[in-house]
Amino acid sequence: MVVGVAGLLFMPVVLGILVAGAIRLVDTLQSQGAARAAQARSLAASAATGVAGLAATLAWLGLASSLTLDLRLATLPALGCSVAVLTAAVAELTWPRPTGVVRTASLGGRRATSPAWLPRLVGVGLVATVAALVIGSLTAAPDGRSFARRTTEVTAAGSPYPGSSYAVAVGIAVAVLALATWLAWARVDARPALGPGHEALDEAVRGASMVRVLRPAAVGSLSTAAGLWLTMGATVNSVTQNLRMNDAGSPQPPFDWVQDLGFAATAIGLALLLLTLGALGVGSPRLPRQEAAPAPDAVKADA
């Protein structure tokens, strides 16, 4: 199931990156002055973020041979997106910084703004991942990677199942993603402004930077949670069906509450998968194509 989720998400990611890159390249070529330089720098940062995330994803699949394939796939979204988020943070260091003895600054704030629901998606993914790991660890078989059901005469078991064998590795991967997101968010807020006369451009650029950080963070957390819940639901339903085929006295639907919980887990996984695709479609703010006129509220401040 996790393999299917990874395959389903890979092509939309690549296609989305190419389409978004083409649109932003056209905007860059049609812009002028400081706006063109800012658009080009932002486009380069987005390209580096996407390439780094995809490269890390492929490298983790190929190099982490000490881990089983299902464990590598379970940790893949969070770790790959962590690299993308950290790359976005490093890209913030490449923006021009104030120089000289006397520097200018605007009286306005410079905190970045982003789509209000994008940070919520990151939170939903993290909470859903933790919930899946806790429930899986409590309900897994003693080996920590399978699910078993018993009747008086028959025992049925199936794997993979997100029990304790997965909890540590996936938990670490998600914790790395959460920490990387917090550091990158702080880096975007702390970056020096572009300077007086460029307030609108700076706000748009900073908003694009925030989306560059939060989009992979949301995709990583949501797709990790979706894979766990879908795997849990599929294994529970498979074990229940096998048990019913070999024991006519086992509970029958719709009164089999264990299978009902399996269906619920599958529904949660599908909902999280839809949210992942929604996070992939979040666009960055359109950057101005013309350099703004100097702002009247700009003041000079000693360095």
Residue 252: predicted pLDDT: 67
Burial classification of residue 282, based on how many CB atoms lie within 10 Å of its CB (0-12 exposed, 13-18 middle, 19 or more buried): middle
- Ranges of H-type helices in the chain: 2-30, 33-63, 69-91, 117-139, 164-190, 199-246, 257-280
Residue 292: predicted pLDDT: 46
Burial classification of residue 108, based on how many CB atoms lie within 10 Å of its CB (0-12 exposed, 13-18 middle, 19 or more buried): middle
**Using one digit for the tens of pLDDT, what is the confidence trace for 188-241?**
888 877 766 667 777 778 888 898 899 999 999 999 999 999 999 999 988 888
DSSP state of 272: H
Of residues 287 and 273, more confidently modeled = 273
Opening angle at CA 131, ends 235 and 122, nearest 5: 115
**Using one digit for the tens of pLDDT, what is the confidence trace for 73-98?**
889 999 999 999 999 999 888 876 65
Residue 295: predicted pLDDT: 40
CB-based contact 90:185 (threshold 8 Å): no
**Using one digit for the tens of pLDDT, what is the confidence trace for 10-21?**
666 666 666 666
Q: Is the pLDDT of residue 124 over 90?
A: yes
**Rounded to whole angstroms, how far apart are CA atoms 296 and 235?**
64
Tokens read off for 66: 């000490």
